[in-house]
Amino acid sequence: MRGKRYFGTDGIRGEVGRPPMTVEFALRLASAAARVLAPEGGSVLIGKDTRVSGYMFESAMEAGFVASGVDVLLTGPLPTPAIAFLTKQLGADFGIVISASHNPYHDNGIKLFDRAGAKLSDEIEEAIEAQLESPVVTRSSRALGQARHIADTRVDYQEFCKRTIPGGMNFEGLKLVVDASHGAAYKVAPRVMEDLGAEVVPVGCSPNGRNINDGCGATRPDLLQLTVTGVRAQAGLALDGDGDRVVMVDESGELIDGDRLLYILARDRLEQGALRGPVVGTVMSNLGLETALGELGIEFRRARVGDRHVLEMLKASGGILGGETSGHVLCLDKATTGDGLVTALQVLAVMRRTGASLRELVEDMPVYPQLIVNVEAADSVDVNEEPAIRDAVGEAEAVLGKHGRVVLRSSGTEPVIRVMVEGEDEETVSSVAHRLADSVRSRIDSMAASS
C-alpha cells in the first residue's frame, strides 16, 4: 500500500486557502470519496462546526457529491460525534464533518465516517487519495444526486446523549458551567444538561464564525476554571471546537483531564461489573493512570497517539474504554467514536450515583509531573531515527531514572514535534524537557540548513 499524502491522524486539516484546504480540493475530494464509498450512488450526511469557512467547503463538497450522483443530507453545525451517530441512524452510506477540531478559526478540515459511524480505515483513505487526480465526475441530469437540509437532527442527537445515562437519573440540584468553545456543540451541550435538570451557566456558546477555540474550550480551560469557582458551581465541562473531546473542572477549579476522566469511568464500570477488556491509553497517558488502574487490577495498554489507534486496540482486545490525556475518550458501550458530551454525562452520572464530588472521584489517582514542549518542524521528520536525537533521549532517560518516560513524536495535526517528558520531580522534568527540546530543535535546524 502506498503512504497517505493528505489524511493525517484525524482526517485532512490545514490553513484555509492553502493546499489542501481549498475549494478546488474539497470538490475533488467529494468526487473521489463518492467513487470509493458510493460508486453506484447513495447518500452522504454532511455536518460542520461554526467556522466561517465551513459554508464554503460545505457548498464545494455538496456540488461534488451531487455531480457524482450522491444525495446530500445537510445538518448545519453539529458535533463530530453527532454526525457519526446520525450517519448510522439515518442509513447514509457515509458521513462528512467539516471541522479543524481544536485548531484556530483560520484552519479547517474534513473528516469522514463509514456507514457504521466509524472512522475510515487506512486502506479506504488510501483508496480515496488514489482517486484524487482523476477528473471530477459530472453525471447526466437524470443521474445527479439531490441535496436537502434535514430537520430534527439536533434533537435526535440530544435524545441519544440523554439515553446514555441510567434511566430515571437527572441532574437536578447540580450547577454546571458548560463551555462549548464557540463551536459545534454550542446549542446541544447546554440544552442536554438543562433537559436533565441541571442549572447551566454557559460560556463559549456564542459563535460568530471567527471565535471558535479562542481563549476557551478544552484547549484553553482557564475561563472555565475561573467561572466554576466564581459562580460556585459543582463542576464544569469544556468541549473542543467539534465536540469530540472534553476536559472537566472540579468545584475548586482544578482541571480534570482525559486521563483522570478515564480513571473515573474505568473504576465505576469495574464496580458495576460492566468493565470488559483492558483500558487503552496512549504513549502520552500519564503514568499515574497506569499505576492507579493496576492497583485496581485493571489491565492498561498503550496505543499510538490518535483516537483511531486507541479504537483499533480496543476492538482487537475486546475493551470498551480508552482515551487520550487531551480528553478524547472512547466509551464503546455508549458510542462508536469519541464524544465529549457523552463522556461528560458518564462522569456526571458517576457523581450522581455515588454522591461523590468530582474532586473525590480522582483523589486516589496520582499524577506524575509531565511536560510537553512543541518544536516547530516544517517537514515531517522521523526524530527517532536521528542518532544525535537518540543520544539526547538516552541522556534524558538516564537523568529521569526508572520512573521517568520520554516520548518524541510528530504531530498529526500541526507542523510540530512533540517532546514529552514525565518523571517524579517537576523541576527535573521541566529541565530535561527543555534541554531535550533544544537538542531536537538544533538537529532540525541543522538538517534544514543542509538540505
CB-based contacts of 287-291 (< 8 A; 24+ apart in sequence): 287/368, 287/403, 287/405, 287/422, 288/259, 288/365, 288/366, 288/367, 288/368, 289/259, 289/260, 289/262, 289/263, 289/365, 291/366
447 HSE (CA, 13 A, CB side): 18
Give mean pLDDT, residues 405-424: 87
Do the beta carbons of residue 389 and residue 380 sit within 8 Å?
A: no
pLDDT of residue 92: 98
Q: What is the pLDDT of residues 253-286, one digit of tens each?
A: 999 999 999 999 999 999 999 999 999 999 999 9
Give mean pLDDT, residues 82-92: 97
Q: What is the pLDDT of residues 23-54, one digit of tens each?
A: 999 999 999 999 999 999 999 999 999 999 99
**450 vs 58, which has greater pLDDT?**
58
**Residues taking part in catalysis:** 101
Q: pLDDT-based confidence at 1, cuts 50/70/90?
A: very low
Q: Of 77, 59, 56, nearest to 67 (Cα)?
A: 59
Fold match between 12-151 and 370-450? no
Give mean pLDDT, residues 111-135: 95
What is the β-pairing status of strands 279-282 and 329-331? unpaired
Q: What does residue 327 show for φ and ψ, rounded to 5 degrees?
A: 105, 10
Q: What is the pLDDT of residues 291-323, one digit of tens each?
A: 999 999 999 999 998 888 999 999 999 999 999
Q: Of 153, 25, 140, 15, nearest to 86 (Cα)?
A: 153
Give mean pLDDT, residues 424-443: 93
pTM (2 decimals)?
0.91
Share of the chain above pLDDT 90, in %: 88
Give mean pLDDT, residues 423-435: 95
Q: pLDDT-based confidence at 228, cuts 50/70/90?
A: very high
Residue 84, pLDDT above cutoff 50: yes
Domain residue ranges of the chain, discontinuous segments joined by +: 12-151, 157-362, 370-450
Residue 108: alpha-carbon gap to chain centroid = 14
Residue 66, pLDDT above cutoff 70: yes
Q: Which residues contact 84 (CB under 8 A, 6 or more apart)?
A: 95, 113, 117, 118, 335, 336, 337, 339
DSSP string, 333-402: TT-SS--HHHHHHHHHHHHHHH---HHHHHTTS----EEEEEEE-SS---GGG-HHHHHHHHHHHHHH-T
The number of beta carbons lying within 10 Å of the beta carbon of residue 330 is 26
Residue 179, pLDDT above cutoff 50: yes
Nine cell digits for residue 107: 484552519
At the fourth CATH level, the homologous superfamily of domain 12-151 is Alpha-D-Glucose-1,6-Bisphosphate, subunit A, domain 3 (3.40.120.10)
pLDDT of residue 20: 97
Q: pLDDT-based confidence at 449, cuts 50/70/90?
A: confident
* Mean pLDDT over each residue of the chain, to the nearest integer: 95
pLDDT of residue 379: 64
CA distances to 160, 306, 314, 396, 405 from 417, rounded to whole Å, are 38, 15, 26, 17, 16
Give mean pLDDT, residues 437-441: 92
pLDDT of residue 451: 67
User: Which residue's C-alpha cell is 477488556?
Assistant: 277
The CATH class of 157-362 is: alpha beta
pLDDT of residue 10: 85
At the fourth CATH level, the homologous superfamily of domain 370-450 is Alpha-D-phosphohexomutase, C-terminal domain (3.30.310.50)
pLDDT of residue 2: 52
